[in-house]
Amino acid sequence: MTISRRNFIRNAVALGIGTIILPPALMADRAAFQTEEFDKALGFLFTDTPIVTSDKITLKAPDIAENGKVVEIEVKTDLPNVESITILSEKNPRPLVAQFNFKGKVRGWAKTRIKMGGTGNVIVVVKADGKLYKASRQIKVTIGGCGG
């Protein structure tokens, strides 16, 4: 496959402009992924919006993870119009683990494997209809995965 010089230059310019003019939301996401403090990560992602505990979020994870390098997490929610699912781990060197963004009117579901630095809470924040809901679960880690 060959690409014409004109298309190459057009794509390079578009990419350059796109990286220069990053939306503030992307900058907040970057800062949230890089911070080492749990509360700061939450602050970067969810400024001034109250987060309430919801029983409509199901967080499936093992009670005991034999190895913190691979901990399987599954999040399901019955909340309507899910916009995002965010997974954080309190004891990790960088607490923000993953964020899944959705478009349209969808039911939220995400399944992934995460690393955990040690025994601690995994917190899931679901944004639905502009409101924030959370669920959490403590997972005991016998062998640390993130520098533990």
128 with 82: CB under 8 angstroms?
yes
pLDDT confidence tier of residue 17, bands split at 50, 70 and 90? low
pTM for this structure? 0.76
121: which residues sit within 8 A by CB, 6+ positions away? 89, 90, 91, 136, 137, 138, 139
For the cut 90, the answer to whether the pLDDT of residue 48 exceeds it is: no
| Residue range 24-33, pLDDT digits in tens | 444 556 777 7
Q: Does 5-141 carry CATH code 2.60.40.2470?
A: yes
Which secondary-structure segment (H or E) carries 73? strand 71-77
| Residue range 124-141, pLDDT digits in tens | 999 998 899 999 999 999
Q: What is the phi/psi pair of residue 62, to 5°?
A: -70, 150
Domain ranges of the chain: 5-141
Give me the helices (H) in the chain, please: 5-20, 24-34, 38-45
123 in helix, strand or coil?
strand
